[in-house]
Structure 1
């Protein structure tokens, strides 16, 4: 089984650390799974223009194909202006309608204020459902004060929630096989 993590941020490192923490936890729970982090700041994903995927640059094609080949995914995004990041929305616009069909897709979000903790539920959840994704019952919001100066998560309750998310992603992915 291949679990792909997507870090949907072009600046900072909190989002990548959150997603990596989910991948690391999943790998700890089941050492036999394969994990990979797609950090969007490491790729030149082109802006969606409505053309066939083959007309986009190599990075764009590579990222979309990795997502399509994944068995399960975890998506991480900061919340900007009460919405998911623009680079993540652009990536989602590039995906075909069946991109998450029967795949378990969890998400983890962060924001500067706890008042945005439901943005993922009201914005990202419907997008994942549109693509046919199976959502875990729990997803994780990580407030800014849960990180140390190196952007690592230090809040034990948040780490426990991440463990629950990783475990449920693996359980739901296993049930489909």
Structure 2
């Protein structure tokens, strides 16, 4: 099973901190999973111009190909101006419409205020659903008070991250079982 994480911003540190915690916990719980963590700050991505994702080169090709090969996606995003960052939206725009078919997507949101907790529900989940991802129904929301000195200090956030990982892997296994059963119905 291939797991791809996306830290969806090129600025700030809280989303990267949350994704690092998720990666650490995932490696403990599922040490045999093939995994790649993509911090968008480390890549020079081209703006989407409508081309097929296979026609891009360099960092853009690498990021899109990793996402297309994933079985599970963990998407970390900060909330800026009551919205997901344009860098993350651009990643989705680079991909085909049904790029996330048969993939499980789980979300971690970091925000400066509790007032932004619905951005994932109103913006990110509809995008992922439109792209045909199987969504983990709950997501992790961490706000300013959950962080101190570059670390997540709220034990509840740690527990929610562990549960998100478990739910994502369980959903991926269930979806794989369903696909196998459906494919077995065909005689060729």
TM category, shorter: over 0.9
**Counterparts of residues 142-161 of structure 1 (less than 5 Å):** 142-150=142-150, 152-161=151-160
Q: Is 1:15 aligned to 2:10, yes or no?
A: no
Q: Is the 8 A contact 1:75 1:105 kept in 2?
A: yes
TM-score by length of 2: 0.89
Displacement of 1:96: 0.6
Q: Distance in 2 between matches of 1:153 and 1:107?
A: 17
Name the counterpart of 1:162: 161
Displacement of 1:90: 0.7
Paired residue secondary structure (1:171): helix
Give ranges in structure 1 of 5+ residues lacking alignment: none
Let me know the Cα RMSD of the aligned residues.
Answer: 1.2
Q: Distance in 1 between matches of 2:92 and 2:148?
A: 30
Q: Is the 8 A contact 2:53 2:96 kept in 1?
A: no
**Count of matched residue positions in the alignment of Structure 1 and Structure 2:** 176
Q: Is the 8 A contact 1:105 1:128 kept in 2?
A: yes
**Counterparts of residues 43-82 of structure 1 (less than 5 Å):** 43-82=43-82
- Cα deviations across residues 52-94 of structure 1 (Å, max 9, x unaligned)? 3344331101100000001100101110111101100011100
TM-score by length of 1: 0.95
Q: Is the 8 A contact 1:27 1:34 kept in 2?
A: no
Greater Rg, structure 1 or structure 2?
2
Q: Is the 8 A contact 1:138 1:164 kept in 2?
A: no
Give ranges in structure 2 of 5+ residues lacking alignment: 177-188
Runs of 4+ in structure 1 over 6 Å off: none
Displacement of 1:149: 1.4
Q: Distance in 2 between matches of 1:95 and 1:131?
A: 9
